[in-house]
């Protein structure tokens, strides 16, 4: 009869099976984020050179706000790329668990994530802290640099071959270009009139002093009666 494992033996196995794989995934995700910042820099340089010739009023710049975050400003939009420092697994019902790539090796299902958010540039410029931003995409990557993307419209189905697709710089550029095109194709909507038919003196004073009018772009979140239109890329 097989002798049951002691508590310390189980802990040792968990360290190897859980903690070590998470460290591996974190390291790969960090490398991917470094590559992403490089590609962002290349795109920024290209767009900045174009914008300076087309219209000097168009601002294009890249700002590194920390080891795990960068911001790309493209005219009226600021896109925030943020690497989460934790490693994630997915619920049993998630499509990733149907792949033989994960079924045969469950460690392949551990992923790091890079979030892509969009905000209005003026929200940062005028420190309108109540303004809303939106999650545009989530880039998931595992220890072998295999990846898939969750996101709006084409971002939700163009990058879903997790078992074979690897996140090279070329693939990163495709993802980033599609994110930026999606963002630029949606415009600012004015808030509903009924939302501002009553306002306090303190509110208007604050608005006058710092332009803190809560603002957001729709970015794909439409009324139910509106039709979803794909963006051709």
- Asked if 74 and 185 count as a contact pair (C-beta separation under 8 A), the reply is no
Residues in the chain: 233
Q: Which residues contact 101 (CB under 8 A, 6 or more apart)?
A: 108, 146, 162, 163, 164
Tell how far CA 184 is from the center of its chain: 16
The Cα 78–Cα 60 span in angstroms is: 10
Ranges assigned E (strand) in the chain: 60-66, 69-74, 77-83, 112-120, 134-141, 147-151
DSSP 2-46: PPPPPHHHHHHHHIIIIIHHHHHHHHHHHHHHHHHHHHHHHHHHH
d(CA 93, CA 155): 21
pLDDT (0 to 100) of residue 128: 77
pTM, two decimals, is 0.79
Sequential pLDDT tens for the chain (233 residues): 555 566 788 887 777 778 889 999 999 999 999 999 999 999 999 988 888 887 778 888 888 888 899 999 988 889 999 999 999 999 999 999 999 999 999 999 999 999 999 988 888 887 777 777 889 999 999 999 999 999 877 888 899 999 999 999 999 999 999 999 998 887 666 667 776 666 677 766 666 665 545 555 543 333 333 344 443 33
């Amino acid at each position: 009869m097989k002798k049951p494992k002691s508590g310390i033996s189980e802990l040792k196995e968990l360290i190897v099976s859980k903690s070590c794989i998470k460290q591996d995934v974190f390291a790969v995700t960090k490398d991917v984020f470094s590559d992403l910042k490089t590609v962002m820099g290349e795109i920024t340089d290209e767009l900045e050179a174009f914008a300076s010739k087309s219209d000097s009023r168009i601002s294009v710049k890249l700002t590194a706000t920390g080891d795990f975050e960068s911001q790309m400003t493209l005219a009226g939009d600021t896109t925030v790329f943020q690497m989460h420092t934790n490693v994630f697994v997915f619920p049993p019902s998630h499509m990733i668990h149907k792949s033989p790539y994960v079924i045969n090796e469950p460690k392949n299902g551990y992923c790091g994530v890079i979030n892509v958010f969009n905000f209005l540039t003026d929200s940062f410029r005028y420190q309108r802290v109540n303004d809303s931003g939106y999650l545009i995409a989530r880039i998931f990557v595992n220890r072998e640099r295999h990846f898939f993307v969750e996101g709006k419209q084409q971002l939700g189905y163009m990058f879903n071959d997790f078992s074979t697709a690897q996140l090279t710089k070329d693939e990163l550029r495709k993802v980033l270009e599609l994110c930026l095109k999606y963002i630029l194709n949606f415009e600012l909507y004015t808030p509903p009139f009924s939302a501002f038919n009553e306002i306090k003196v303190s509110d208007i004073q604050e608005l006058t002093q710092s332009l803190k009018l809560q603002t957001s772009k729709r970015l794909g979140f439409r009324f139910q009666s509106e039709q979803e239109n794909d963006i051709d890329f």
